Structure 1
Amino acid sequence: MAASTNIVWHESEVTKENRQQQKGHKSAILWFTGLSGSGKSTISVALETALYTQGFHTYRLDGDNVRHGLNNNLGFSPEDRTENIRRIGEVSKLMVDAGLFTLTAFISPYRDDREQVRQLVEADEFIEIYVQASLEICEQRDTKGLYKKARLGEIKGFTGIDAPYEEPTHAEIVIDSHQLSVEESVEAIITYLKDNDYI
């Protein structure tokens, strides 16, 4: 499907800076990445609750949830994974422009895909949060039973089993979810946001 050439960007009179000022905090993408079962979704849910409770404006995008709607036509081939992250990046960029903290919990296994999202926004508007947990730990958790299915060959192209996961090389925050509790993980992220003048 060819891209349309007859389109022109239409500027708004209300700017991102106006929206941030109204909300009383900066906006940014908080990009959670890590293996399935690492704790991305659990920590992002808890973080959103903590930020909301403190009066900050947020929206959370989760991998499974997005595949029910926006990306329900995509599979798990490398090409579809890349397109999945591209779309999420574009949605996240819009939400940053709206003045929100956008929390995204996606395996997002490829460094290049995550870097493409980073390039969509200003330098300080992409905060990569690597939720680190070994494959062994993630398999022990296996809350969805996916690793078992992948080991049995019932799921093909599963990250960590027969598809790669490329660890971040310059994540702003690294959370060891085997060592830190959910509460400690949330506290570490909020401390980062305070120390770097986001809130």
Structure 2
Amino acid sequence: MNHCPCTLWLTGLSAAGKTTLADALAHAFAARGVACEVLDGDIVRQKLSRDLGFSRRDRSENIRRVAQLCQQLNDTGIVAIAALISPYRADRAMARRIIKKNRFIEVYLATPLRVCEARDPKGLYKRARAGEIANFTGIGDAYEAPRSPELSFDTSWQPLSDCVAATLRILEMRDAPVQDRD
């Protein structure tokens, strides 16, 4: 698989399937010999953005930092997979500008809130409903769904393998031919 380095920006509610899809895509890229880096929201918060909270301003700064890192990865030929809630349209638009429009592929995990709450692997929805977590996206704070993402998946019924295949297809359509070099 030839590839033009790009950023797959996976957005959606907590427990929508972003990390699962990111890891599956990373595995598919590795099998094809394509260098990629997964930037998972939880890990980013522990490293790159450990000094930030969850205010709107801090969330925007987190997105800006991740977008700049994605741009740097793309500039070195690496596919970046950012798996972040990134709840605000304005922040995702900022990320698209930083990364460059032709390298940014927005992938919306449109899994319904009721399904995400039922999954709730970390117990965050339960804690947010109990008032223990303020401004939790989908409960105490809004999630602004993308208006026209390049891809959209509902992992409550779409198999992971179909999501991976559709993502790889869109990347193959976007790839520019690579000339052989002797």
TM (norm. structure 2) is 0.93
Q: Is the 8 A contact 1:129 1:171 kept in 2?
A: yes
Q: 2:8 aligns with which of 30, 34, 41?
A: 30
Distance in 1 (alpha carbons) for counterparts of 2:101 and 2:81: 17
Can you list the C-alpha shifts for 1:119-170, whole angstroms capped at 9, x where unaligned? 1133320000001111101001101110000000111110000100000011
Q: 2:99 aligns with which of 121, 132, 137?
A: 121
Identity among equivalent positions (%) equals 42
Residues 189-198 or 93-102, more deviating: 189-198
| Counterpart position of 2:115 | 137
Q: Secondary structure of the equivalent of 1:42?
A: helix
Gaps of 5+ in 1: 1-22
> What displacement does 1:195 show?
2.2
Q: 1:162 aligns with which of 130, 140, 145?
A: 140
| Counterpart position of 1:72 | 50
| Larger Rg over CA atoms | 1
Q: Is the 8 A contact 2:6 2:80 kept in 1?
A: yes
In structure 1, give the amino acid aligned to 2:139.
I
In structure 2, give the amino acid aligned to 1:132.
A
Distance in 2 (alpha carbons) for counterparts of 1:121 and 1:100: 13
Say whether residues 1:93 and 2:93 are aligned partners: no
> What displacement does 1:198 show?
6.0
Distance 1:24 1:190, change over 3 A: closer
Q: Secondary structure of the equivalent of 2:166?
A: helix
Q: Is the 8 A contact 2:11 2:18 kept in 1?
A: yes
| Counterpart position of 2:32 | 54
Gaps of 5+ in 2: 178-182
Can you list the C-alpha shifts for 1:43-89, whole angstroms capped at 9, x where unaligned? 11011101111111101100000111110010111111011101111
Q: Secondary structure of the equivalent of 2:140?
A: coil
Q: Is the 8 A contact 1:63 1:105 kept in 2?
A: yes
Distance in 1 (alpha carbons) for counterparts of 2:22 and 2:2: 21
Distance 1:198 1:127, change over 3 A: farther
Q: Is the 8 A contact 1:27 1:198 kept in 2?
A: no
Distance in 2 (alpha carbons) for counterparts of 1:124 and 1:91: 16
Q: Secondary structure of the equivalent of 1:25?
A: coil
> What displacement does 1:25 show?
2.2
Aligned pair count?
177
Q: 1:191 aligns with which of 169, 178, 182?
A: 169
In structure 2, give the amino acid aligned to 1:191.
R
